[in-house]
Each structure stands twice: as structure tokens, then as C-alpha cells.
Chain A
Amino acid sequence: MRVAVEEKVLSENDKLALGLRERYRKHKVFCVNLISSPGSGKTALLERTLEALPKTAKVALLTGDLQTENDARRLAKAGFPVKQITTGSTCHLDASMIIRALDDWNLDAIDILFVENVGNLVCPTSYDLGEHAKIVVLSVTEGEDKPLKYPAIFAAAELCIINKVDLLPYVPFDLAQAITNVRQVHPGMEVVETSCTKVQGLESWMAWIERRRNQAMEGGAAKGSAV
């Protein structure tokens, strides 16, 4: 006997991510998911971002690593709520980890939620966290062919941040070629160049957040400017 089904299969993670997306919509939270190789400067970028925000900004952060609370300690210095997610041996964050981490937070008190994923350019791409946008960070101490080697994350992300540009005079990184490679994989992708030690390019990144957040909040009344 054949039973016709013809249904989409949603994995457990996709179901949980749908739930998160609905909660973010209801509580007007704008969520971004930062993905990069280990050492590209996600934490440093977030540190500079937090320093540039007014103390009254309603911002919160979740940061993922296999072990240690080091990143949460670094990020907590700015005074905004931060929670470390230690995954043990898991190479990515998944939606259930986000749900557990948000458990005792009041989402109405959060306008922007930064999620710093585990440093990994492969697996985090497959796990929807209910975010509005994925952001991929590439640093100039890596190869400019990374977008071609790991195309899936560059195709899935909305914004590419090229970090550590202050080191360009000292490394053989071809910036123009890197941007060409990014856009070969993801035509028209927005690219922002930053340095977190020389504090450079931050305003373009902050402007992107503000613009993208406004776009995400369209249709529902936004809670006002957060940045």
C-alpha cells in the first residue's frame, strides 16, 4: 500500500529556528549571526562595536566556543548582557543552544542580539539560528581565495566584513582579488573593510546594522533607534 505524503522535511533544528524567528518578530529583536574561521576577529569586532554604542543601547550578545568563558569575559567589559555558550565538542551553534541561552532573558529589553558563532566556516552555515542575517568575517591574514574554497557561507551571508585591513602593507593579501572572489560566489554582496586595532571602517559596519535593522522591523512598529 502506498501512502502519498508530499511534504517538506524540516529538521528538528529548522523547527526550532522557525520558533526563534517568530519570537524575534514578536519582541522586535534584530538578530545577526557572525561566522568566520577561528582568529578572524569576530570578538574584537564586537568589542569595538559595543564601545561605539551608547550605554543606553539595548544590545545583548551570545558567544560560542568549544571551551572557556574567555570571549564572554572580554565582551562583558562594555557593560551589556553577554552569555557564553560552550559547546563541548560541537563545531557550531544550533537553535536549541540559542533557546536555552535566551531562557532567562527578557526579549523586550533587547533591540539587537549579536550571536558570535563557533569559529568555523563550514558547519555553522547549515544551522539556522532564526537570525535576520548571517555575516561572514574574513581577515587579511587568510588567503584571498577563501570565498572560492568555502562558497556556501559566502553565498548564504548578507554581508562580508574584511577585517585587519591595517595589516595590508605587511601581508601578501590581494584585497581587490578577495572582493572579486566574494562577488563571484555572491554577486553584488556588500563588503565592509574594518580594522579593530586601528578602529577603522566601524562607521560603515554600524550604518549597515542600523539600515538592516530598520528593514527587518518594517511592517511592525520598531522600538525606535537602537544605534
Chain B
Amino acid sequence: MPGMHELSIASAIVDRAKAASEENGGARVTKIGLRIGEISGVEADALTFGIEALSKETPLQGVVLEVEFCKRRQRCTACSAEFAPEGFLAICPTCHGDQSECIAGKELDVMYFELEDAPCA
């Protein structure tokens, strides 16, 4: 599900990181920890490009992204088996049921920021 909205997502992350920098006396943000699900609709490459572009001449310039990818997992409605579907279709490998709910893979979370010690702290 490649989305074209990564710039808007990148902007939300950059704004949050800038706020964290301000709360810490304008400290440089060196690393952003993200969690991205397989079907979150976000392409990590496009997101990285967006964050790089938006962080120029800010306390985020040169920031490194550490991305934890989350595989999609479904739980079968009929037999409750949990499974990682192959491709887009989600057929339960245990009972071959075609009804299941997504229990992982939609994540799009900021986990942490790493900041340098504040210049004037």
C-alpha cells in the first residue's frame, strides 16, 4: 500500500522532534526511533527522504532514523490461530478460513528521540 503522504507524516515527526529539542534547550536531535508496520501505508524510503529534506538547517540536520519494522499478523476469526499472511490475501493456514482481523502491522509510532546534551545546559 505505497502512500504518497509520507511528506505530511515526515512533517508531523519533524515538528515533534523540534519540540523535543526546544524542551531541551535547543539540543541537537541525533536519532529518531520509529516503528513502522508492514501495512501502515508508509514507505520507509520516502519517509526518510522527507525527514532529511525537512530537517535541513534545523537542530535535526543529519538525524539518523532507527526503524523497527513490524510484520503483519492476523488472527483467524474462526479458529483464533495467529498467522503472518503471505502477500495481500489473508487465508488462515490452520483452518483455511478467510475471515481474520489484523493484530499487528499497522503501526506508525515515534518511539524515542536521542538528543545531544544541550549547548547551554
Residues of chain A touching chain B, judged by Cβ–Cβ distance below 8 Å, are 1-13, 91-92, 122-123, 125-127, 151-152, 155, 184-185, 187-188
Using Cβ atoms and an 8 Å threshold, which residues of chain B touch A188? 99
Q: Please state if A12 and B11 are interface contacts (CB–CB under 8 Å).
A: yes
Size of the B side of the interface (Cβ < 8 Å), in residues, is: 31
Q: Please state if A5 and B1 are interface contacts (CB–CB under 8 Å).
A: no
Interface of A is mostly: mixed
Q: Of A2, A127, A185, which one neighbours B5 at CB under 8 angstroms?
A: A127
User: Looking at A1, A11, A122, A126, which has the most chain B CB atoms within 10 Å of its CB?
Assistant: A11
- 4 closest A-B pairs by beta carbon, nearest first, are A126-B3, A11-B8, A187-B98, A152-B1
A–B complex contacts, Cβ < 8 Å, 23 sampled: A1-B27, A2-B114, A3-B20, A3-B112, A3-B113, A4-B112, A6-B109, A6-B110, A6-B111, A7-B110, A9-B12, A9-B13, A9-B108, A12-B11, A123-B4, A126-B41, A127-B5, A151-B88, A152-B1, A155-B88, A184-B89, A185-B89, A187-B99
Q: Please state if B113 and A5 are interface contacts (CB–CB under 8 Å).
A: yes
Complexed CA–CA distance, A152 and B42 (Å): 13
Q: Taking A3-B115, A4-B112, A126-B4 as contacts, is the C-beta distance between A11 and B89 under 8 angstroms? A: no
Using Cβ atoms and an 8 Å threshold, which residues of chain B touch A13? 5, 8
Complexed CA–CA distance, A1 and B76 (Å): 42
Q: Of A8, A92, A122, A155, which one neighbours B108 at CB under 8 angstroms?
A: A8
Encode contact with A along B84-121: 1 for CB under 8 Å, 0 otherwise. 00001100000000110000000011111111110000
Complexed CA–CA distance, A127 and B116 (Å): 36
Complexed CA–CA distance, A122 and B34 (Å): 25
